[in-house]
Amino acid sequence: MEVRKPVIKSIPYDEFKDNETLEKLTKELQDGGANVIVGSLDQVVNWGRSNSLWSLTFATSCCGIEFMAVGCARYDFARFGFEVCRNSPRQADLIMCAGTITNKMAPVFKRLYDQMADPKYVIAVGGCAISGGPFKTSYHVVNGIDEIVPVDVYIPGCPPRPEAMLYGMMQLQRKIKVEKFFGGANHKEHKPIVVNGVETYEK
Amino acid sequence: MKLENKIFELKNFASEMAKLKSEKHFDFLVTIVGEDFGEEGLGCIYILENTKTNERISIKAVDSNRENAYIPTVSNLWKGAEILEREVYDLFGIKFLGNKDMRRLYLRSDFNGYPFRKDYDLSPENNKYTLEDDVEPDYTIEYTMDEEGHIQQIEHKLFTDDDYVINIGPQHPATHGVLRLQTILDGEVIRKIYPHCGYIHRGIEKMCEDYTYPQTLALTDRMDYLSAMMNRHALCSVIEDAMGVELSDRIHYIRTIMDELQRIDSHLLFYSCCAQDLGALTAFIFGMRDREEVLNVMEETTGGRLIQNYYRIGGCQADIDTNFVKDVKKFCEYLKPKFKEYNDIFTGNVILHNRFQGVGILSKENAISYGCTGGTGRAAGWNNDVRKNHPYDMYDKVDFQEITYNNGDCFDRYMVRMKEMEQSIHIIEQLIDNIPEGDFYIKQKPIIRVPEGQWYTSVEGSRGEIGVYLDSKGDKTPYRLKFRPMGLPLVSAMDEILRGEKIADLISVGATLDYVIPDIDR
């Protein structure tokens, strides 16, 4: 059966670079078929969710300034459904981790993530959040936030250009479009694995 | 400048320092550099400035006992020393006798060891992060020495039982990043603020010790990303200074223009964030709109929007773009009428006047004592502009005015920045038509070695003096590299500024002090 492609308004489907991953994910989620009624309801829910993603104003360093620039007049992510930023994690759907996470910040960041209500999404913005970036060898930097929280989209760059940020944010929208809200398969939380007393996540 | 260190014995260190301050008028403590001198022991280098003559000297104090290094405090002479000594204690483990607050500054209170010592184990296994909350002590320790030379510990409580304490940050929009302010309130009135730093401490200085000189440049832009050019300028200057590189006029011109463009960029962002913190979203959008124009001009030449990586040892990465001169002129013409717009929409606003005027006063004496350079110091009437006091590049050949005010309140701090943008435009206009022909890069050896010695060079950053201390042993890597953060004195002065003010004024003061947290924590 042909799997329905997640389409967003702003960029045509074929212009995205990494369609294989998304198709694989869609196939896995749709494995066993989808109920006509529930499937249509899912589409309605996902349409709503993907077009009203409110992100947390969370910035530790340089990428935060670019994030501000993306929110301002020239790039304006509100056009694509990222209407406002929220200062409280309780009101946010999305955490754009813009900047380095250090050892001292790691528990705080984890707590912020835990405080957000489901469904919640994480975007790792910039080299530092992805892998530690230029500070990988430092004694006080976490080598990638995916050790602490599950990450949905990675946006490389140091800092990423605003265009790259918008592209990454739209990738997240597409990912949300294929989710299944009904039937229990929706946005499963990853089970933490405890290694030497430290909680980590399967990549 | 090359440092000719005066060495004071620890026995009479305190009295000699007091003499320097009272008799020779060295009233501005530029920075304290902690250093691991190897077999010589652990010690500090104090850089002092006489604010009347702008003369600078450096003092060295070393304790040969590595296990328990003690140096008498100077926090009774310069108020800013308290937090600088905490930084040295945190990173090197030198205890300062008489400093009332010997807690860690950047690292977690359960951190083991002192990372900047040369014998610290930097392996990833030894430096794992934890997701456990940090249990912070609610007391500070003061070390004192009695007449027989015994060390005694005194505990000071941070809070009393009746204190109402709220935490502002690390995740708070008004702290401009990840700073935490532990605030003790009496009703609405602030009684005391304990700043907690280090949530973005990346150990840049320590990383630099393993890098070759050209590699160290890569990290500077990521400290204070709003004065990326100046950070790099300071580091390039100190290395060029040490190696005795003569730059061409073209490089001086380009660097001056780029620095000023960066200053405009930073001040526009200051204006925007200031407006947003006070709830004026329109002014925020206006400021950010014009900031994009500066970024366009810089991007054309450097290729980067925020992190430009443009300067390098011996010049610049590339020559200026063919359209650069034309576009800079166009930009100057574009920005000039905008100042009136900013004044109409925000500066003249009655809400701004009520929230800024007479709020958060920092006196000139305190500004000097804490070392609050940049716009904050100039708003209090302290002529601290490095461009005037220790001219570099083209600054002694161009005509510009050092903006100073006298009240030292939020409004003056705001106005200093607004006026400085006009001065920056003025500087750029004098230079842009006369950029001389010449090399944009003086060729250096493939492996750069700096002769043995210690140097300190500073330039005027967007929010104060950014200085770099370099200790070289003649290798291709620095032995110790230390950046003077612009924001650390500002954060340490917050308690002084805000004591007795309302909690709502914390937002105005934080906005106008204009600190950038990755610059404080490095």
> What confidence tens digit (pLDDT) does each residue in B309-347 have?
888 888 888 888 888 899 999 999 998 898 888 888 888
CB contact under 8 A, A65 and B225: yes
- pLDDT greater than 80 at residue B450: yes
CA dist., res. B305 & res. A157, Å (int) = 12
| Per-residue pLDDT tens over the stretch B181-194 | 889 988 889 998 99
CA dist., res. B262 & res. B461, Å (int) = 9
pLDDT at A90: 87
CA dist., res. A140 & res. A146, Å (int) = 16
Whether the CB of B203 is below 8 Å from some CB of chain A: the reply is yes
| Domain spans of chain B, in order of start | 1-122, 204-521
**How many Å lie between the alpha carbon of A186 and the closest alpha carbon of chain B?**
27
Order of strands across the sheet that contains B56-63: B6-7, B56-63, B42-49, B28-36
CB contact under 8 A, B202 and A102: yes
Order of strands across the sheet that contains B139-145: B70-72, B95-97, B139-145, B151-157
For B115, list phi and psi in degrees, rounded to 5.
-65, -25
CA dist., res. B405 & res. B63, Å (int) = 43
**Which single residue is written with the structure tokens 């308004």?**
A9
CB contact under 8 A, A198 and B178: no
- Out of A160-164, B252-256, B279-283, B412-416, which region has the weakest mean confidence (pLDDT)? B279-283
Per-residue HEC secondary structure of B26-92 comes to CCEEEEEEEEECHHHCEEEEEEEECCCCCCEEEEEEEECCCCCCEEECCCCCCCCHHHHHHHHHHHH
Q: Where are the beta strands (DSSP E) in B197-343?
A: 311-312, 315-316
CA dist., res. B446 & res. B348, Å (int) = 55
Which of B107, B129, B520 would best serve as a mutation to test chain A binding (most A beta carbons within 10 A)? B129
**How many Å lie between the alpha carbon of A182 and the closest alpha carbon of chain B?**
33
For B:289-348, CB contacts with A below 8 A are: 289, 291-292, 305-307
CA dist., res. B78 & res. B62, Å (int) = 20
CA dist., res. B260 & res. B267, Å (int) = 10
CB contact under 8 A, A65 and B134: no
Residues B284-311 have a mean pLDDT of: 88
Q: Provide, as residue numbers in chain A, all residues whose Cβ is less than 8 Å from the Cβ of B132.
A: 107
Token pair listed for B94: 């030198």
Residues A63-88 have a mean pLDDT of: 85
pLDDT at A198: 67
* B39-59: b (≥16 Cβ within 10 Å) or e: eebbbbbbbbbbbeeeebbbb
Q: Binning pLDDT at 50, 70 and 90, where does residue B267 land?
A: very high
Between B165 and A22, the more confident residue is B165
Chain B residue at shortest CA distance from A66: B306
Q: How high does pLDDT run on average in chain A?
A: 81
How many beta carbons lie within 10 A of that of residue A90, not counting itself?
Answer: 10
Q: Provide, as residue numbers in chain A, all residues whose Cβ is less than 8 Å from the Cβ of B306.
A: 62, 65-66, 159
CA dist., res. B244 & res. B474, Å (int) = 14
pLDDT at A138: 86
Q: Dihedral angle at the C-alpha atoms of B255, B259, B264, B267, nearest 10 degrees?
A: 180
**Which single residue is written with the structure tokens 């002092």?**
B48
Residue type, B379: A
CB contact under 8 A, A102 and B131: no
Q: Indicate if the alpha-carbon torsion angle B341, B343, B344, B349 is positive or negative.
A: positive
**How many Å lie between the alpha carbon of A155 and the closest alpha carbon of chain B?**
16
**How many Å lie between the alpha carbon of A68 and the closest alpha carbon of chain B?**
9
Answer whether B265's CB lies under 8 Å from B501's CB.
no
Residue type, A116: M
For A:110-129, CB contacts with B below 8 A are: 110, 112
For B:144-173, CB contacts with A below 8 A are: 170-173
* Count of pairs with CB atoms under 8 A, one residue in A, one in B: 129
Which of A62, A74, A104, A148 would best serve as a mutation to test chain B binding (most B beta carbons within 10 A)? A104
pLDDT at A192: 64
Which of B108, B180, B201, B205 would best serve as a mutation to test chain A binding (most A beta carbons within 10 A)? B201
CA dist., res. B176 & res. B169, Å (int) = 9
- Residue B203 has its nearest CB partner, among A59, A73, A138, at A138
CA dist., res. A3 & res. A25, Å (int) = 11
Q: Binning pLDDT at 50, 70 and 90, where does residue A191 land?
A: low
CB contact under 8 A, A106 and B130: yes
Which of B111, B178, B227 would best serve as a mutation to test chain A binding (most A beta carbons within 10 A)? B178
Tell me if residue B250 falls in helix, strand or coil: helix
**Which single residue is written with the structure tokens 């300034």?**
A65
Tell me if residue B164 falls in helix, strand or coil: strand
Residues A152-168 have a mean pLDDT of: 89
pLDDT at A32: 64
| CA-angle at B287, arms to B283 and B291, nearest 5° | 170
Q: Provide, as residue numbers in chain A, all residues whose Cβ is less than 8 Å from the Cβ of B267.
A: none
Helix, strand, coil percentages, rounded to 5, for chain B: 40, 20, 40
- pLDDT greater than 70 at residue B348: yes
CA dist., res. A60 & res. A51, Å (int) = 26
Tell me if residue B239 falls in helix, strand or coil: helix
**How many Å lie between the alpha carbon of A128 and the closest alpha carbon of chain B?**
11
pLDDT at B507: 87
CATH class of B204-521: mainly alpha
Q: Provide, as residue numbers in chain A, all residues whose Cβ is less than 8 Å from the Cβ of B126.
A: 139
Token pair listed for B383: 């002529």
Pairing assessment for the beta strands B56-63 and B6-7 based on DSSP bridges: parallel
Residues B113-142 have a mean pLDDT of: 84
Q: Provide, as residue numbers in chain A, all residues whose Cβ is less than 8 Å from the Cβ of B225.
A: 61-62, 65
pLDDT at B264: 92
Residues A91-95 have a mean pLDDT of: 88
Q: What residues contact residue B77 under an 8 Å CB cut-off, 6+ apart?
A: B17, B18, B21, B29
ipTM of the complex as predicted = 0.85
Could you give the C-alpha distances from A37 to A14, A29, A40, A41, A119, in angstroms and in order?
Answer: 28, 16, 5, 6, 22
Q: Provide, as residue numbers in chain B, all residues whose Cβ is less than 8 Å from the Cβ of A59.
A: 177
- Residue A61 has its nearest CB partner, among B171, B284, B518, at B518
Could you give the C-alpha distances from B450 to B213, B238, B281, B455, in angstroms and in order?
Answer: 9, 10, 49, 11
The number of CA neighbours under 13 Å toward the Cβ of B223 is 35
- pLDDT greater than 70 at residue A186: no
Q: Helices in chain A by DSSP H: which ranges? A: 19-29, 36-50, 63-71, 106-115, 126-131, 162-177
Token pair listed for B443: 């060729």
CATH domain B1-122 topology? Beta Polymerase; domain 2 (3.30.460)
Q: Which strand (E) or helix (H) includes residue B274?
A: helix B249-277
- pLDDT greater than 70 at residue A1: no
pLDDT at B40: 84
- Residue B200 has its nearest CB partner, among A100, A107, A139, at A100
Answer whether B291's CB lies under 8 Å from B265's CB.
yes
Domains: count for chain A = 1
CA dist., res. B416 & res. B395, Å (int) = 19
Q: Where are the beta strands (DSSP E) in B237-289?
A: none
CA dist., res. A78 & res. A71, Å (int) = 7
Whether the CB of A62 is below 8 Å from some CB of chain B: the reply is yes
Q: Provide, as residue numbers in chain A, all residues whose Cβ is less than 8 Å from the Cβ of B291.
A: 69
CB contact under 8 A, A61 and B200: yes
Q: How high does pLDDT run on average in chain B?
A: 87
Nearest to B200 by CA among A147, A73, A101: A101
Answer whether B239's CB lies under 8 Å from B456's CB.
no
* Domain extent for A88: 35-201
CA dist., res. B5 & res. B369, Å (int) = 22
**In a domain? residue A7:** no
**How many Å lie between the alpha carbon of B393 and the closest alpha carbon of chain A?**
27
Q: Binning pLDDT at 50, 70 and 90, where does residue B100 land?
A: confident
**How many Å lie between the alpha carbon of A180 and the closest alpha carbon of chain B?**
31
**Integer-rounded Cα radius of gyration of chain B:** 23
Chain B residue at shortest CA distance from A145: B129
Q: Provide, as residue numbers in chain A, all residues whose Cβ is less than 8 Å from the Cβ of B222.
A: 61-62, 134
Residues B219-232 have a mean pLDDT of: 87
Q: Dihedral angle at the C-alpha atoms of B32, B34, B37, B38, nearest 10 degrees?
A: 170
- Residue B222 has its nearest CB partner, among A62, A137, A143, at A62
Chain B residue at shortest CA distance from A111: B131
Whether the CB of A69 is below 8 Å from some CB of chain B: the reply is yes
Chain-centre distance for alpha carbon B43 = 22
**In a domain? residue A84:** yes
Answer whether A133's CB lies under 8 Å from A108's CB.
no
CATH number of the structural domain spanning residue A112: 3.40.50.12280
- Residue B202 has its nearest CB partner, among A74, A135, A148, at A135
Residue type, B166: I
**Which single residue is written with the structure tokens 């691991």?**
B36
- pLDDT greater than 60 at residue A187: no
